[in-house]
């Protein structure tokens, strides 16, 4: 990962809500509404953080369907492990990502 990418990732992971979202989506995909409730923040705040996490490929959006056939977005964590290193060139980050969620449609 580039130095700029590492800096952006460090900034994102410095945000408590971003870390909470990763934890809550690590075992099962969750909707933004469910995440807002679990994290005790507004849905717009959750959506803003989800956009940043998606941009860094730390979460993935998937389509889900309720009992009435209506669809909604749910988010799943894509990170299994992060490794940080330090050398003469600066700080590096390596991400081990989960396989993408299979598209059922």
User: How many domains in the chain?
Assistant: 1
pLDDT tens for each residue of 35-83: 999 999 999 999 999 999 999 999 999 998 888 988 999 999 999 888 8
Is residue 103 situated within a structural domain? Answer: no
* Backbone dihedral angles phi then psi of residue 13, each to the nearest 5 degrees: -70, -15
85 forms beta bridges with 92
Is residue 73 situated within a structural domain? Answer: yes
Q: 34 or 85: which carries more pLDDT confidence?
A: 34
Is residue 9 situated within a structural domain? Answer: yes
**Predicted TM-score of the model (pTM):** 0.81
Contact by Cβ (8 Å): 82, 93: yes
Q: The domain that contains 20 carries what CATH number?
A: 1.10.10.10
Cα gap 87→89, rounded to integer Å: 5
Mean confidence (pLDDT) of the chain: 88
Is residue 50 situated within a structural domain? Answer: yes
């Amino acid at each position: 990962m580039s130095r700029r990418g590492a800096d952006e990732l460090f900034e994102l992971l410095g945000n408590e809500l971003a870390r909470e979202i990763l934890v809550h989506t690590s075992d099962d995909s969750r909707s933004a509404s469910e995440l807002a409730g679990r994290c005790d923040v507004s849905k717009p705040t959750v959506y803003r953080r989800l956009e940043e996490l998606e941009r860094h490929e730390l979460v993935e959006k998937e389509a889900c369907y309720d009992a009435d056939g209506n669809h909604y977005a749910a988010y799943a964590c894509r990170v299994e492990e992060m490794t940080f290193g330090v050398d003469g060139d600066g700080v590096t980050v390596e991400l081990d990502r989960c396989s993408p969620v299979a598209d059922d449609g």
